[in-house]
Every structure is written in C-alpha cells, then in structure tokens.
Amino acid sequence: MGYIISPVLVEGLATAQRDWADFVQRRIREDVAVTRDLMSCHSLADMHQVYSQYLQTAFQHYREQSEKVVRRSESVAQHLAETAKGETKESIRARH
C-alpha cells in the first residue's frame, strides 16, 4: 500500500523550516549585538545589565519558538488524524 504525502504536512514542514531559519538568524543577530554591547561596557555593573537583558531576551525567544513548534505540530497532527479517519471511512465504504 503506497502512501501519499499530505500537502498540509509538506507545507507544515516548509513553514517549520522557514521559522527555524528565521529564529536562528534572529538569535545570531542578538549574539553579535551582545558581544558589541559588552565590549562597550565601562563597569562590571554595565556588563551585568547587558548580559542580564541578553539572557532574558534569549529565554523569551526560545520559549516563543518552542510554543510555536508545539502549536504547529499539534495542528499538523490533528489534520493528519482527520485525514486518516476520512480515508479509513472511504476504504470501509469502498469494500461494502
């Protein structure tokens, strides 16, 4: 029995790949910026402030990205389950 790849699955994977690339690019920009900001610090307190903000932003970005991945995965899984259910009903009707 052959399987047909769902267009929704392909679209979901393509979107996930684009989102991941955007996320990595955004994080790289933040990494470069924090290095520049740390080099311009004049005191330990300045460094603490810059790095603290950097970590808060990084954790926020990772949380948001994780939530996005979970939502997308749930959506694709739900669509695939509904598609499989419909195909099963069609297969049962075809046999009778």
Distance in angstroms between the alpha carbons of the first and the last residue of the chain: 19
SS (H, E, C) 14-66: HHHHHHHHHHHHHHHHHHHHHHHHHHCCCCHHHHHHHHHHHHHHHHHHHHHHH
Task: Provide the domain count of the chain.
Answer: 1
Q: How far is Cα 89 from Cα 92, in angstroms, rounded to an integer?
A: 5
Domain that holds residue 42: 9-95
Residue 37, in any domain of the structure:
yes
Indicate whether 3 belongs to any domain: no
pTM to 2 decimal places: 0.70
| Residue 65 within a domain | yes
pLDDT digits (tens, 9 = 90+) for 53-90: 999 999 999 999 999 989 988 887 888 788 777 666 66
